[in-house]
């Protein structure tokens, strides 16, 4: 991102140098030197990865807009970095593709229910965290479970590449049958038609799906805090400058009250009670 701005500045300086060389030592007026520089915005844009199918977090609406808590966080960060909302290019970032998008440079950063884990930190870096969620189950109304042990008897659905799918296999339900799909929307379809017994992922995501008008009265959360999921902003590996800039932006968002407002706007309708804003750099 800042590299783009630096490149724009370098190009401007080079163009002015070439113009001066062409003019030589003549007395001709060589232009007014009225460039606004890289900070003027111009045609610059910032590319941000989000989910497109997670109500309450990252959702592409029927009219082509984007809504959700992650969208609000990303928009606030972009604003602190000097970008207006109309300068943001949103890129769909499925769970299994997030590291690839960052390593290829397809996005400047990612805010897409991206849990900070040691394994991921080997490939990318993170700013934040900016939200603490917990893994849970979404089930059909009346079919809940009362303990983690009962999960082993279920057929679960989660998204390939997510920490939720890994947790099922490695931690709390190694005997459960796990179906991994490309998106949570596909899992929800399987839950509705009876192909699976439960959709498992973060409670923040599940609450968003349960609160959709078409799903109200059909599904409910089991209420099991099966893990801690510290949502971070994914950035290219070892970009410490960008990491600090985003951490400063997140701190400002919390201190200004904008973080609390985003929580209310996006999670309030679902009745989901989010944890307090986590401290920057504190993983629980």
pLDDT average per 10 residues of sequence, the chain (284 residues): 40 37 36 32 81 94 96 98 97 96 98 96 98 96 88 94 88 93 92 96 91 87 92 98 98 98 88 91 95
* 116 φ/ψ sector (left φ>0, alpha ψ -120 to 50, else beta): beta
Long-range contacts of 29-32 (CB under 8 A, 24+ apart): none
Count of H helices and E strands in the chain? 9, 12
pLDDT at 279: 97
pLDDT at 241: 98
pLDDT tens for 73-117 read 999 999 999 999 999 999 999 999 999 999 999 999 999 999 999
Domains of the chain by range and CATH? 47-132+230-270 (3.40.190.10), 133-221 (3.40.190.10)
What the block records as the tokens of 189 is 């379809």
Q: Omega before 73 cis (within 30°)?
A: no
pLDDT at 200: 95
> Is the distance from CB of 230 to CB of 121 less than 8 angstroms?
no
H or E element that contains 220: strand 219-221
pLDDT at 106: 98
H or E element that contains 47: strand 46-50
Rounded to whole angstroms, the Cα distance separating 160 from 95 reads 7
Q: How far apart are the first and last CA of the chain?
A: 30
pTM: 0.79
Characterize the bridge pairing of strands 66-67 and 219-221.
unpaired
């Amino acid at each position: 991102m800042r590299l783009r701005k630096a490149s724009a500045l370098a190009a401007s300086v080079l163009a002015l140098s070439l113009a001066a060389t062409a003019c030589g030592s003549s007395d001709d007026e060589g232009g007014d030197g009225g460039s606004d520089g890289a900070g003027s915005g111009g045609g610059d844009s910032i590319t941000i990865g989000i989910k497109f199918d997670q109500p309450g977090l990252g959702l592409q609406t029927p009219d082509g807009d984007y809504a959700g808590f992650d969208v609000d966080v990303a928009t606030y960060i972009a604003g602190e970095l000097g970008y207006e909302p109309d300068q943001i290019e949103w890129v769909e970032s499925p769970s299994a593709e997030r590291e690839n998008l960052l390593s290829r440079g397809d996005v400047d950063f990612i805010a897409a229910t991206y849990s900070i884990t040691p394994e991921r930190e080997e490939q990318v870096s993170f700013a934040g965290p900016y939200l603490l969620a917990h893994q849970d189950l979404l089930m059909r109304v009346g079919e809940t479970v009362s303990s983690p042990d009962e999960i082993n008897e279920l057929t679960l659905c989660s998204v390939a590449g997510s920490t939720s799918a890994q947790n099922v296999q490695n931690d709390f339900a190694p005997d459960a049958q796990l179906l991994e799909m490309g998106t949570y929307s596909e899992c929800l379809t399987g839950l509705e038609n009876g192909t699976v017994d439960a959709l498992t992922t973060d409670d923040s995501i599940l609450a968003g799906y349960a609160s959709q008008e078409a799903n109200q009265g059909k599904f409910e959360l089991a209420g099991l805090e099966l893990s801690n999921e510290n949502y971070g902003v994914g950035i290219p590996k070892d970009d410490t400058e960008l990491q600090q800039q985003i951490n400063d932006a997140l701190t400002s968002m919390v201190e200004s009250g904008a973080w609390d407002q985003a929580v209310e706007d996006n999670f309030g309708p679902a009745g989901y009670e989010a944890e307090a804003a986590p401290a920057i750099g504190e993983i629980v």
